Structure 1
């Protein structure tokens, strides 16, 4: 029975959208309550809340008009810019309220519109400078290329749009709402109860900094120095976002000598053990490479697809999966999520800062020139230990036919090659149809199937005999030699590249 929900990235997206909707609803309620607690006035809290929402809608609307699809990175940029949105809304409204309260206490006789205009003018220059500084901090992300650029440029674009939208709303929507709601509204003098509590805590904990500025300055310098020194001890983590995706992929790669039956047996055992883990909903696997498959893998590679129950303890289930797959030594197991798998496919396979690629048509010549480039780069000041990334090789068997001896028995080189193919990997001779299913009929050597991990010496002895149609066993005099061939051939703009 086929499970259509297994390794289905759309399932994680559905869960993420539902979680995002719930999170936004809860965050919106908390924001309104917090603004009301600080302002202690429903009118000012409403103005600030509407300003934040309108800024986010404007930024999202611009992205929509540009044809940008909303994804996790776009939302991340908007969430980062949300800090500036709230700050602009609070600063603008707080200054307007302060000026209105001051004007009423002094009975200046100025109109409400003039007071609001003067208050907005006071905060206009600081808002412009602050927005320009925040935008400049995101400009380096726009200059990234490759996979890093594809990941972080949407974050920078949405972040910058959120900042610009917040600036525009703070200079237009916020004053208009203030004029409508605060023209005749009562404005409470003094701090709100929440602000009074926070002000008392600040005075008790950090009031000494204003009374003794020199010790405060020395303390700030010491903390800054400690922070700079701690940079050397920070761990280098991945810049890729870590999502709790419910679909995992376990990549297992055996040695080149691992046969298909052996890889099938190991993968089956691992799948059964993974299926017994609490929190794992279902498990499936992909072993080797089918003839028309899009997987660029060899016969000694396999992938295990794991679906985790959304209601289970995600961290515990993933830790248990990693523990299980690490119990199969010699297979280089690797646990990845769908996002990590796709990003890994796009990466160049190296984490170095500078890569020099050598192009050509002959592999041996490419490797020779790459080594020459390595020697030249090693003499350049500032370059430490340049390395040549050699193409991965795998052991193979080279079978050479003794044409003269084969002629004596009426055999052609193709007959020998087909027999050798049947012996080593099997040859498709037909198809079997059953219940609308098609099965390939493969002829294989019975001794090699019984002993899938036969050595090169055993294979050489087996290939020394060739059956003919007359059931006469003929010896082949030419030996079988071992050779190393390139496992994968990569092209860039048609030419070979390493």
Structure 2
């Protein structure tokens, strides 16, 4: 866009008639290019800074968002620096070398003349209705702010990239057998294979010995492959319909990127919790209940809940040491025999087709699933006799944790809650006071993890930086337009310029992500650039003709800026259309939403640039010509030192 602005401004400068010569030469073209670069370099620099300042709060975002936004900010900063370098250093040279020389002044086309006349009448009509014009801008701005406020709800950080593979996660009730989970997964796999657009279904049950997932035997995962020519949205919805047909089973349908981001978010962005540490789970649960009751009496804490892992029934074999000693059986031998019956033991390996299969011996299904059969297991005694397992051990069903959560060597239980209505520091102080009133056994204690408070403090920093960014944008506008009143007027008109982007984003909010919403920064930069370039052109005209009336200078600058504004609005659209259409899944998921936001924003930004900014410059702009800038430009002309000639006396 920076390069396009300079090229279009050069062409606009060439369309103006020459004053001193009748035809364009290399010298006149070079002079025009130098004047264009001098006129646009400061406004473009200000617009680029405004874009960076608007995105500055993203540098202070923590957690998963910071992992995405911080590289995005630095990439954008490097791209803007490269664009300014190429636009201000390389583009003028290429324009000097490649643009043809005009030998005659080209007459204006009738269409352009009529459009210029219509535009002049529109500006005069809006100028004569000052109050109505300001109210219209305010209404559009409020509409944009209202639509933008609806985008602040929880939304995914990155878009759903249709990578043609869906992950279906199952979590049945605790205690569900592996065989039952396998039966349900097999039946669901058959239904999923029958869905149009699905090419294959694979998965696994429970957790492997070396798995990196913390799940129990009652969990399962299915990987659903979607055909390349199938409609991904329709196929995904059909898969969700099949999965929802199994009531009583917790499930989740996502893709790989969503799963990875969700896992990282749960570890990097935990919610508020009070954590109880200890060694024995019954005592932990008892103390966690006491902490929960204490939290329920603290103002600002809502819905305290014990976030304990689910329990599953297991068979416990507790050997009676005295009874085992009387028959001469070691406790370890009794436990190993029971484990062999229920879980099995590896007795060898089978080699087939270059694969290794373990040979496991264990009790039959009807034997190992029956407590009476386990109690009747015969154990060999040293004197050659036999004794039943139930005679020397207690065999019973007991609840047990599916997953053991711990920090270092201490088990833990979290009491999660919602906190609001009071400062977080006050709530934490009351919680710590309540915890001190609870008696904990040795090696047991409760504390508030610091991660949540650190995240809330980081969020507060982001808000303060955002407020500072707004002040910085206002200061940059004031520097560019030389007037506090005009800078404030342009600043207040920016919501109207961004209203189109906000409305389009609100209409398509279901498919948007936070990365897509960064397109607002590009629209903001375009709006700021239009305002600063208009002010710069008006100052240039006023500087060249200081006795011209202020209204005539502003209206002339506005008419000259019509073509550059329209063409610069088309440039980003034309640039983004090819990757949006030909970019595959990434183009559809990321670039298309950004393109729609930019197109909607450019509609209102262009209207504001053509109709609102000229009027604001007339009503609130500086009243004096920029005389001080003439000294700046004169300082760029090297001053030749005056050499005194020696005169010889005769």
Q: Compute the TM-score of the two structures, normalised by the length of structure 2.
A: 0.54
Distance 1:357 1:176, change over 3 A: farther
Secondary structure of the 2:248 match is: coil
Distance 1:113 1:140, change over 3 A: same
Aligned-pair CA distance for 1:218: 1.2
Aligned-pair CA distance for 1:202: 7.2
Distance 1:196 1:373, change over 3 A: farther
- How many matched pairs? 400
Query: Equivalents in 1 of 2:20, 2:39: separation in Å?
Result: 19
Query: Equivalents in 1 of 2:204, 2:89: separation in Å?
Result: 58
Q: In the alignment, what sits opposite 2:91?
A: 174
Q: In the alignment, what sits opposite 1:425?
A: 343
Aligned-pair CA distance for 1:241: 2.0
Distance 1:432 1:315, change over 3 A: same
Query: Equivalents in 2 of 1:444, 1:200: separation in Å?
Result: 94
Alignment check: 8 A CA contact 1:391 1:488 kept:
no
Within the candidate set 321, 326, 339, 1:408 is matched to 326
1:281 pairs with 2:192:
no
Aligned-pair CA distance for 1:245: 0.9
Aligned-pair CA distance for 1:140: 1.7
1:96 pairs with 2:96:
no
Name the structure where helix makes up a greater proportion of residues: 2
Aligned-pair CA distance for 1:304: 0.8
Give the CA RMSD over aligned residues.
Answer: 3.7
Within the candidate set 369, 391, 394, 2:311 is matched to 394
Alignment check: 8 A CA contact 2:309 2:402 kept:
yes
Query: Equivalents in 1 of 2:385, 2:191: separation in Å?
Result: 47
Within the candidate set 125, 136, 139, 1:222 is matched to 139
Aligned-pair CA distance for 1:220: 2.4
Alignment check: 8 A CA contact 2:204 2:222 kept:
yes
Query: Equivalents in 1 of 2:397, 2:122: separation in Å?
Result: 80
Alignment check: 8 A CA contact 1:426 1:442 kept:
yes
Secondary structure of the 2:18 match is: helix
1:132 pairs with 2:43:
no
Unaligned runs of at least 5 residues, structure 2: 415-650
Aligned-pair CA distance for 1:344: 2.2
Aligned-pair CA distance for 1:377: 11
Alpha-carbon displacement from aligned partner over 1:259-301 (angstroms, at most 9, x marks no partner) = 1111111111111211122111111111112223333332111
Within the candidate set 465, 480, 490, 2:396 is matched to 480
Query: Equivalents in 2 of 1:370, 1:160: separation in Å?
Result: 52
1:252 pairs with 2:170:
yes
Within the candidate set 331, 351, 361, 2:249 is matched to 331
Within the candidate set 33, 37, 59, 1:120 is matched to 37
Distance 1:179 1:268, change over 3 A: same
1:463 pairs with 2:380:
no
Aligned-pair CA distance for 1:155: 2.0
Larger radius of gyration, structure 1 or 2?
Answer: 2
Aligned-pair CA distance for 1:250: 1.0
Alignment check: 8 A CA contact 1:264 1:287 kept:
yes
Aligned pairs for 1:152-167 within 5 A: 152-167=69-84
Distance 1:356 1:253, change over 3 A: closer
Alpha-carbon displacement from aligned partner over 1:129-152 (angstroms, at most 9, x marks no partner) = 111110112222222233222222
Alignment check: 8 A CA contact 1:249 1:336 kept:
yes
Distance 1:361 1:174, change over 3 A: farther
Structure scoring higher RCO (CA < 8 A, sep ≥ 6) equals 2
1:263 pairs with 2:181:
yes
Alpha-carbon displacement from aligned partner over 1:77-128 (angstroms, at most 9, x marks no partner) = xxxxxxxxx2x22322222222233252663897322221111111111111
Q: In the alignment, what sits opposite 1:17?
A: none
Alignment check: 8 A CA contact 1:416 1:466 kept:
no
Distance 1:95 1:239, change over 3 A: same
Alignment check: 8 A CA contact 2:199 2:226 kept:
yes
Q: Compute the TM-score of the two structures, normalised by the length of structure 1.
A: 0.69
